[in-house]
Amino acid sequence: MSIDATDNARTLITFAQQAAAPVALEVGKYHVVRTAEGFRTVDLTTPEHTGVPERKAGTTTVRDTTSFAAYFAKHADPDTEVYADADRLTVTAVLDAHTPAAARWSGHRLVLHLRKSDAWSQWMRHDGQLMQQEQFAEFLEDHLPELLKPSAADMLEIAQSIQGATKVEWQNSTRLASGQRQFQFVETVTAKAGQKGQLVIPETFTVGLVPFEGSAGYELTARFRYRLGRDGGLSLGYKLERPDDVLRTAFADVVDTIDGDIEQPVMNGTPA
């Protein structure tokens, strides 16, 4: 065939291709299309064409066991793995964990990240710290809902007694047979110069705290702390008994709750 004949054939093919009606390509499949430049591969299987992600992925963080159970029930399968980390206060579910027979992506995760309650954080912040009289009295008044024994009403009376004895000279402290602590003072206000008085507070008191948002409450024992200054001043505070143990117990109870709601075992540790 001559060069002119070849050129004419190519021209006819080009016109034929241009005149051909377009063919719709099916989404979700690979296609090989012939163009003027040659064959071209068209991939219509990707998410931007199908509108469907290739797989579930991402990490969802929740704050309570109820939310954890709801998301878990929606996405978990028999091969899902669950890990509890007491140091990080987290429970992590690898929803697409490896199966015994095959590897999976392990990229779809659910994390319960417990957040300490405001009340717990405030009591921890002042634990073992001595405060001035008025500051300590205000602290008790601000936290009356958490005071269990003595009652909130009795602790309010103690707080008011502390506030009412700010302009005094504290002289000594005595431990009573009942276990209470009695403080002796002398009024220093001009109108009551020399008038003696006393303040009696319990050696210990009980508070009820919710360690984590959405968790149960626990009782803690607090011991009153005090210091009589050389200038006649009085500093007060408290020391909670083994709060770390209570926190560990609270986390263990959270894990037990999750373990009771799901079929998969909860393992101690963190996923890869």
Per-residue pLDDT tens digits for 134-150: 888 899 999 999 999 99
pLDDT at 106: 96
How many residues appear in the chain? 272
pLDDT at 127 over 90: yes
pLDDT at 156: 86
Report which of residues 244 and 132 the model is more confident about.
244
Angle between helices 133-142 and 152-163 (to 10 degrees): 160
Q: Enumerate long-range contacts of 184-191, CB under 8 Å, 24 or more apart.
A: 185/234, 188/232
Q: Taking residues 66-73, what's their average pLDDT?
A: 97
pLDDT at 24 over 80: no
pLDDT at 197 over 70: no
Place of tokens 């507070």: 201
Segment holding 109, helix H or strand E: strand 108-113
Look up residue 223 and give its two tokens.
């011991």
Tell me the pTM: 0.74
Q: Taking residues 84-113, what's their average pLDDT?
A: 97
Distance, in Å, from the CA atom of 59 to the CA atom of 112, rounded to the nearest integer, reads: 10
- Binned at pLDDT 50, 70 and 90, residue 191 comes out as very low
- Report angle CA 118, 120, 125 to the nearest 5 degrees: 95
- Binned at pLDDT 50, 70 and 90, residue 124 comes out as very high
First CA to last CA distance, the chain: 68
Distance, in Å, from the CA atom of 180 to the CA atom of 178, rounded to the nearest integer, reads: 5
